[in-house]
Every structure is written in C-alpha cells, then in structure tokens.
Amino acid sequence: MKHRIYLGLIALIALAGCKKLSVDAPEFDVSIEKTTYKVGEEVNFRFSGNPDLISVYRGIAGENYDFRNRITAEGLPQLNFTTLVQNTGETNTLRLMASTNFTGKYDVAGIAAASWTDITSRATLSTGTDNTASGTIDLSDFKGTGKPLYLAFKYQGYFHPTLKQPSWFLRTFNVNNVLPEGRTSVITAIGQVGWVGVDVKNPTVVWGVPATGQATINGTGADAVNEDNEDWIISRPFNLSSVSTDTGLGLKTATTYLANYTYAYSVPGTYTVTFIATNASRDEDSQVIKQIKLTVEP
C-alpha cells in the first residue's frame, strides 16, 4: 500500500513538473504631471501595477523603440586609427588601401584581381610618435556601389645599401557609422577587424597579427633580408550602413518594487518614451507597452 502511495506521489510531482506555467498580462500604467518640460527638469514617470519586469526606451539616441530591430541605417561612415613607426629610414612604406570589388580571396592573385584605391592622403601616419592619430577619415564615397568595403594596409620597402626598411605598429582601428540622430554605432574595432596577412614579396618580412588585432611588421628584424618587400593585411568586408540595434534600459526585476522613475533630458526636442512591462515564467511571457510623448524646451 505504501509503495502505491509513493508511486502516486511521484506521478503527481512529475505531472506538476510537466505542466506549462502560464502568466497573466501585467497590470501596468504610466502617468506624468505634464507633457512639456525644460532641459534639465526631471520628468517623474509614475507607475501603477507591479509587473515582474519594467524596461524603458527613453527616446534618446540609442534608445528609440522604433529602432529596436534596425540593423542598417544611412549615416556617415568614418575610419580612425593610430600608428607608430620605428627604425625610420625609407619613407612612404605604408599605404592605406580600399576596395569594393575584392572577392575575399586573400592571396596574391586575389589582391591583383581587385581594384584598390589609395586613400593614404586622407590619414595622418606616425613619424616616430607612438599612438599617432590618423584623424577622422570619411568613407562615404565607397557607399555608392552597394558593395561591402575592404580596407588594407600595404607595406612596401626596397633594397637600399644604407637606408633601413622601418617597422610599423597598428595600435587601434575603428570604423563607425555616425547616425543622423547623433549616435555613433561601431562597425568594427581593433579586435574584430579580421586582418589576414598576405606576403607578396620577400617572406622574411611579414605582418604579424595577434588576437588583439594590433598588427605589426618589422622591416629590420633579425631574420629580415634586405630585399624588395611587399606585404598586405586586409580586413574582413564591412557594410558601411550597418548599425547596432537600439536597446532599452532595464528598471525593475521580479524581486523589486518600483513606484516611479525620474529622468532629466539634456537636449531639447520631442520624445516618445516607451515602457515595457513584462510578466514571465519559465515557459512564456506577457507584455504591456505604454508610450508617452513629451516635449523638452530649451
């Protein structure tokens, strides 16, 4: 008899464990005292109800609810990087190159088959100072093709009886999409460039690319042979219109209670503030969305 009761209890527990845990729609609302505020004046958003989770898109750059699924946007693509040159001797050994028809074939034939634009004149390169900033380089002229852009550094030295082939260090490298709403979205940073080195001439001098992406090439290293030299590092393809999605700010978890939220806008304009209230279980969730439009004056 006891054995049957025990088995029955196990069956009940198993049945309860398999039962889907449903949730009710949150009871939630938001109110404010007025719809027009001054810059720097706190807006007090008062909440009713107690949902498990509350998050907010404040309508500022990077927190626009309408852009929560946006992955491309027309902005201003810009490049900036920093360099160091050492063992200076020969000059003009480093060139910044760009291509929209490189096929991703990272070898000598692939480089030769592509059309490359030399954009070195747009940048400032080191003359001996570490972390020399390139300045902001506009890449807008490469968007018109609708094709991804590859960026590369071409190192070229020549045999010379007295002049040394220098060493170059790439410290940082960033491609950004500067959006009309004022937000800068990162397309790539130094560790995500995907550099691939291609030796064209003189295998004793090649680019080194560690996991950090901070590429180096040493024209006067211990193993370097003083001959004509050409080596490239080429990036992965970049979509110059890519953008990270806008995200909201988490305000409340299931273990807390929140009666209100205050925020002061620093820029005048019209804002749509979106609150998302969520009740959630391990199996499902239910949301209520509340939006408030307000004006911020100078």
Residue keyed to tokens 């027309």: 74
Q: How far is CA 10 from CA 2, 6, 14, 15, 37, in A?
A: 12, 6, 6, 9, 61
Q: What is the mean pLDDT of residues 11-36?
A: 77
| Residue 15 confidence (pLDDT) | 44
Q: What is the mean pLDDT of residues 262-289?
A: 96
Q: Is the alpha carbon torsion for 56, 58, 59, 60 positive or negative?
A: negative
| Residue 18 confidence (pLDDT) | 56
| Residue 164, pLDDT above cutoff 90 | no
| Residue 225 confidence (pLDDT) | 82
| Residue 126, pLDDT above cutoff 60 | yes
E-state strands within 194-245: 196-201, 216-218, 229-234
| Residue 38, pLDDT above cutoff 60 | yes
| Residue 226 confidence (pLDDT) | 86
Q: What is the mean pLDDT of residues 208-230?
A: 90
Quick one: tokens of 130?
A: 């570490």
Lowest mean pLDDT among 110-114, 164-168, 235-239: 164-168
